[in-house]
Amino acid sequence: MLPVALIAMMVVACGPSQEEIAAQEQAIADSVAAHEAQVILDAEAAQAELDAAAQVEAAAKAKADSIATATAAVKK
């Protein structure tokens, strides 16, 4: 009877404690939150690059339009 009780105690003692389970769940939640934050940062950086490219393109178009207007004025 004693060996059975000892084995039962060992089996129960081998599993993770509630604190260990809670810590593992918190670590998973923290990891997911960190990943989501990184995805948001990446999306914002990509949007900033697109906005910058659009500004450069708009400036180039404005310059080209200005040159075309000046050239047309000179030809008249």
Q: Is residue 6 part of a domain?
A: no
Q: Is residue 21 part of a domain?
A: yes
How many domains does the structure of the chain reveal?
1
Q: Is residue 7 part of a domain?
A: no
Q: Report, as an integer, the average pLDDT of 4-19.
A: 71
Q: What is the pLDDT of residue 21?
A: 94
More confident position, 11 or 60 = 60
**Which token pair is 42?**
């990446």
Q: What is the pLDDT of residue 16?
A: 84
Q: What is the pLDDT of residue 52?
A: 98
Query: For residue 45, what are the domain limits?
Result: 17-75
Q: What is the pLDDT of residues 25-73, one digit of tens each?
A: 999 999 999 999 999 999 999 999 999 999 999 999 999 999 999 898 8
Of all residues in the chain, what percent are helix, strand and coil, respectively (each to 5)? Answer: 95, 0, 5
**Which token pair is 60?**
């180039």
Q: How far apart are CA 18 and CA 20, in angstroms?
A: 5
**Which token pair is 63?**
């310059």
Q: Is residue 9 part of a domain?
A: no
Backbone φ, ψ for residue 16 (5° rounding) = -70, 145
Q: Is residue 34 part of a domain?
A: yes
Tell me the whole-structure pTM to 2 decimals: 0.60
